[in-house]
Structure 1
Amino acid sequence: MNEITQGMPIFCADGIQHGTVVEIDRDYIRMRLPDDTRDHFIPLDTVAHVEDAVHLKLNHHDLLATL
């Protein structure tokens, strides 16, 4: 997943932007929500594909259940 870079937006499968990439931390994307100073971690195996943004396999509701 070396194509994932800091500052990339993260989109859920239903098109909702979830946050932005802080860094890759082992098997996780460390990310931050727009109005939150805490980091959150998303497993790399939830990534569907990467283009100009990170696109997840999970919809927003399912992603929130994993955090």
Structure 2
Amino acid sequence: MGIVKISEQMHEALRHASGALSRSINAQAEHWLRVGMLAELNPTLNYSEICRLLLEQESAPTADVGRDEFGKVA
């Protein structure tokens, strides 16, 4: 675990979203990081497809299921 410095505006957005979505601030930040990372690695996927992929990964026995060696969805 590490410390990541973010702007006050981003922290406020995280606080607002975490309250609305019943997540901790850290869980909300991690969610946004995972979605953003997958969006960059897979630019053809929309938000719904990315969420589906996250759900599939969560139920898979390993965290890298569905990805090739470059992190792209296989």
Considering Cα pairs closer than 8 Å and 6+ residues apart, tell me whether 1 or 2 has the greater RCO: 1
Which structure has more strand as a fraction of its residues?
1
TM bracket, shorter-chain basis? under 0.3
- Please, what TM-score do these two structures have when normalized by structure 1? 0.27
Higher normalized helix content (fraction of residues): 2
Q: Give the TM-score taking structure 2 as reference length.
A: 0.25
Which has more radius of gyration? 2
